Structure 1
Amino acid sequence: MREPPRSRSQRQSARRAHEFESFVAGTAVRLLRTATLLTAEEPAHNPRARRLLAYALAHTYAVWDRLHDDDPYDHARALLALRFARTAWYPRQLPRIPRLRTRRTAAPPAGVLAALRPQERLILTLRMYEGVAEEQCAALLALPPERVGEICDRACANVLHPARGSARGAGAGPGTPRGGTEAALP
């Protein structure tokens, strides 16, 4: 005997919600870490990263039934990366309202990747932390693969060997290379 359509749709909704809850339980921590690396915030205090994650998960849930054979993690990661790219490269200009001046301003990024530009952080995070192939990263960001490779190489060099004026290389004294604690090379 056929069940009424309403109870079937309720079961489908419950199944969908359960599947999505399982997905979030398994991937939210890694996606939050990715968002934290993108925003260059401290892991303990990362409101921008949490907003990026909430956006990505909300949109993933909205298209959950249409993902069929697609990997939902890849979809959520792509949404996270694209939202970061859009907000970092084209920040929204808020109108000047007197009550906004009384609010505390956001602290500058202080994370591991804070010295990098947003595009460098995005590509370095996708390539090194997430393990996305150069071609996939290029397709996602609409850049040539050679450009993605160049940006990734430059970002790696900047992280491994920060400039003297940066926060990581500030302890360098005369005669010591960039890091401050390494022995000078002949």
Structure 2
Amino acid sequence: MTQGRRRALYEDVSERNSAMDRRRAREFDAFVAGASSRLLHAATLLTAEPPTANPLAQRLLTGALARTYARWDRLRGEDPYNRTRQELALRFARSAWRYHRVRGGVLDRLTPQERLILVLRLYEGVEEEQTAAIIGLPADRVRAICSRAVSAMRSARRAPGRPLLRTAS
């Protein structure tokens, strides 16, 4: 094979790869445009930060989105939203020790584990068994923690002298 022929093949392959990279970037941009606000809200609930000042939630979501982008070509029909939500939950669970301090968010009265389960079950609508599989707990334990978290939020809402909780929008 001549030098000129090799260079032409290399340029052809390079052109094809850059076209695939551009398509991949467009698809991912469209996904992020549609899903980022809901995922950011979920991350903000997890970190118990106020919606207007949520740098930890933004960092958590950025990491989850980066991981999804890295695996974008290997999703093969899998829902990217579910993949990103799962990655977000796993990243939060691994670093939950950072989120014990009260920050003023809607769910700041709950422990990190309670927040994770409550957000997955009630805000995201993930089934009990799937939530248990994501965080590695038995389904009965997930049910008990979710019930305890809901009770804690209801009792906090009725406590005298405390402001009413604003609903997440």
| TM-score over 0.5 (shorter chain) | yes
Match of 1:119 among 94, 97, 113: 113
**What residue ranges of structure 1 are gaps of 5+ in the alignment?**
92-106, 173-178, 180-186
Equivalent residues of 2:114, 2:146 under 8 A apart = yes
- For residue 8 of structure 1, report the CA deviation from its aligned partner: 1.0
Does structure 1 residue 84 correspond to structure 2 residue 74?
no
Does structure 1 residue 66 correspond to structure 2 residue 74?
yes
Match of 1:36 among 39, 44, 55: 44
Name the Cα RMSD after superposition.
Answer: 1.9
Where relative contact order (Cα < 8 A, 6+ residues apart) is larger, the structure is 2
Aligned match of 1:131: 125
Residue deviations 1:20-68, cap 9 Å, x none?
Answer: 0000000000000000000010000001000000000111101100001
For 2:43 and 2:81, how far apart are their aligned partners in 1?
13
- For residue 162 of structure 1, report the CA deviation from its aligned partner: 2.0
The DSSP-based 3-state class of the residue aligned with 1:161 is helix
- For residue 144 of structure 1, report the CA deviation from its aligned partner: 0.3
Q: Which amino acid aligns with 2:147?
A: D
**What residue ranges of structure 2 are gaps of 5+ in the alignment?**
1-8, 165-169
Equivalent residues of 2:102, 2:109 under 8 A apart = no
In the TM superposition, 1:1-186 aligns within 5 A as 4-89=12-97, 91=98, 108-162=102-156, 169-171=159-161
For 2:132 and 2:96, how far apart are their aligned partners in 1?
18
Closer, same or farther in 2 for the Cα pair 1:48/1:170, shift >3 Å? farther
- For residue 108 of structure 1, report the CA deviation from its aligned partner: 3.4
Percent identical: 55
- For residue 118 of structure 1, report the CA deviation from its aligned partner: 0.4
Moved over 4 A (4+): none
- For residue 170 of structure 1, report the CA deviation from its aligned partner: 4.9
For 1:85 and 1:170, how far apart are their aligned partners in 2?
32
Q: Which amino acid aligns with 1:126?
A: L
For 1:126 and 1:50, how far apart are their aligned partners in 2?
18
Corresponding pairs, count = 152
For 2:62 and 2:91, how far apart are their aligned partners in 1?
11
